[in-house]
Amino acid sequence: MNKWTKAIAAIAATAMLIPLAACGSSRGGNSGSSSSKDASDVNIGISMPEQMLERWKIDGSNLKKQLEGYGYKVTLQYADGKTDLQTSQIQNMANNGMDYVVVASIDGTSTGAACEQAQSNGAKIIAYDRLIMNTDAVDYYATFSLEEVGKMQGEYIEKALGLKDGKKGPFNVELMAGSPTDNNAGYYFKGAWSVLGKYYKSGVLQAKSGKVPADETEWQSIGIDNWDRQKAQNEMENRINSFYNDGTKLDAVLAQNDAEALGTVNAVEGAGWDYYPVITGQDAEKANVQAIVKGKQSETVYKDTRELAKATAQMIKDLVDGKTPEAADTFNNGTKDVPTQLLTPVSVDKTNLKEVLVDGGYISAKDAGLE
């Protein structure tokens, strides 16, 4: 499946649908089988994974607001990072007769049975940002172009180190991937590896820790459980103390979300270095935006969750109205090709942070650390 041209601006993200090589080959979506009904009679359950990461609080709030704007009744719950709690919440939504259930899974393989129960009770299931795996009980999926996120991170490191300009290094670049339980994490790393892998194979890049997967399929070997900041910090502290405490320079760190990035920043500061390596990230969390402004973190991949909420809410509205939701791509979840809508991420650093995040209304200048 060929990739379309990138969106010109983040504001246009929701209008763009980017084919992804990892997607299934089929196109289109399920027919809108729900008959039109009065908005006040529509009940929707939203299960978000946690509130510790700022992005999930924003996602939940935005999605609830969008759906309530259509007049629907909405129940929003957070699972506190506990898979059993999320399963229980989804089961309760099923028992309470929800017409639609939106699930951002903690573990995409663990929510299937609860979603099957909800579907058997007549609910449509929408996977939000993270795909629900190995079950027929997922009707639609809304997310961002996953491999593109990782590719942007890899390209940022590539450009920052001058690799495309022929710089030979060797450069020390440490790699971290996402949570082994998150289906998205494999796609993120695949995108990054599509850029960086050849440089490791040629010897231009190296990791003193030796933690370099043989290929993109072995990403779980460097995964950080539950995308946890403290675990990422502990991992980087171990690598720094073991391999970089003799003055060896660490040139860059592939951190695949902002929690891992902040953990890396903390580890570097704990080491007492007078410099920060190139550090990537994802999600444009407030603390990380401030870190970019201060020169501690280099880049984050911005995914405008306001647009993801709009796209998901529109999917549900289409179903309520008896229409077929817009879903031009598919992801295979191990059981079926799930009709999918893909939005466009944007790479952000000091050069475009104000324009994209502040002027775009995602964060205030004060919260960004610009005033």
Residues 122 and 170 grouped into a single domain: no
325: nearest Cα among 338, 335, 316, 334? 316
Cis peptide, bond prior to residue 170, ω within 30 of zero: yes
Note whether 66 and 89 are same-domain residues: yes
> Do 216 and 297 fall into the same domain?
yes
Task: Find where tokens 């598919």 sit.
Answer: 330
Report H helices in the chain: 54-69, 83-95, 112-120, 146-160, 183-202, 229-243, 258-271, 286-293, 305-320, 353
Instruction: State whether 220 and 321 are in the same domain.
Output: no
Do 172 and 273 lie in one domain? The reply is: yes
Q: Per the structure block, which two tokens stand in for 332?
A: 């295979």
Examine residue 67 and state whether it is found in any structural domain, yes or no: yes
What is the reported pTM? 0.84
Annotate 95-132 with b (16+ C-beta within 10 A) or e (fewer). Answer: eeebbbbbbbbbbbebbbebbbbbbebebbbbbbbbbb
Domain CATH number, residue 166: 3.40.50.2300
Q: pLDDT tens digits for the chain (371 residues)?
A: 443 333 334 333 433 333 333 333 333 334 444 445 789 999 999 999 999 888 899 999 999 999 999 999 999 999 999 999 999 999 999 999 999 999 999 998 999 999 999 999 999 999 999 999 999 999 999 999 999 999 999 999 999 999 999 999 999 999 999 999 898 999 999 999 999 999 999 999 999 999 999 999 999 999 999 999 999 999 999 999 999 999 999 999 999 999 999 999 999 999 999 999 999 999 999 999 999 999 999 999 999 999 999 999 999 999 999 999 999 999 999 999 999 999 999 999 999 999 999 999 999 999 999 99
Q: What is the total count of domains within the chain?
A: 2
Residues 198 and 244 grouped into a single domain = yes
Domain annotation covers residue 191: yes
Residues facing residue 337 across a β-bridge: 332
Are 87 and 204 in a shared domain?
no
Q: Counting beta carbons within 10 angstroms of the beta carbon of residue 161, is it exposed (0 to 12), middle (13 to 18) or buried (19 or more)?
A: buried
214 and 352 inside one domain = yes
- Domain identity same for 167 and 298: yes
Describe the crossing of helices 146-160 and 183-202 by its angle, rounded to 10 degrees: 30
Give the domain range for residue 85.
Answer: 40-138+305-343
The one-letter amino acid code at 137 reads A
Flag whether 11 is in a domain. no
